[in-house]
A and B are shown apart, each in its own frame.
Chain A
């Protein structure tokens, strides 16, 4: 989901 994709950064 867009949500997941945006929280993979530090």
Chain B
């Protein structure tokens, strides 16, 4: 805690030059910092790593820019967040992967860990955004547009379908699909957290059942940078006024549990070593 000098030189200067901070404020901020730092012995590196490991999608940055600009103009940003009046938008990055040896690629599984969703928030909408790269391989079919179909895994009842013009399919772009129905009856796991979400995607040619190779349409996920990975965007409305310290507490908890898991692993390794000896 001593070495974690979060108080910057400018803050120190301010404190020296001006009034001393109120003892209560100083005590509570120190407690908060101690809670934050005591949860991990290598906090500084961990914190830096965490930030740089997460690359925000352009879509999330544009949401932030649009609404913060609206706020600066004195407009109520919730007005812009569709009629659903959501005030929280969470993006979950796809954890699925394509088998590079599988050819042609007829179906894809998109997986999302949505366990971080809070039950304190009322979900009001959800969409899946899949990036389609430009593909030179696309041949314009004579039988009409492509038909993109999204299903929940373990179900053959389509969740969302939309057509894609063959000419548009040559250009890169984001395919947006409404997956709100999937959330309406989505079960929670034994821990009370929402279970992971799984979708599968297939594309057929026109009205036929002929499934198209997804690689031809630029949907191959192999070697994609973080920003081109599919995201599940969930719109929510806070049931009560959010407090910044809730976020801090969640962070501390998640770091704490990570440390516990590490310690548990270390304990198991020691036990195994002792048994071998």
**Do A and B interact?**
no
Binding site for A on B (CB under 8 A): none
Binding site for B on A (CB under 8 A): none
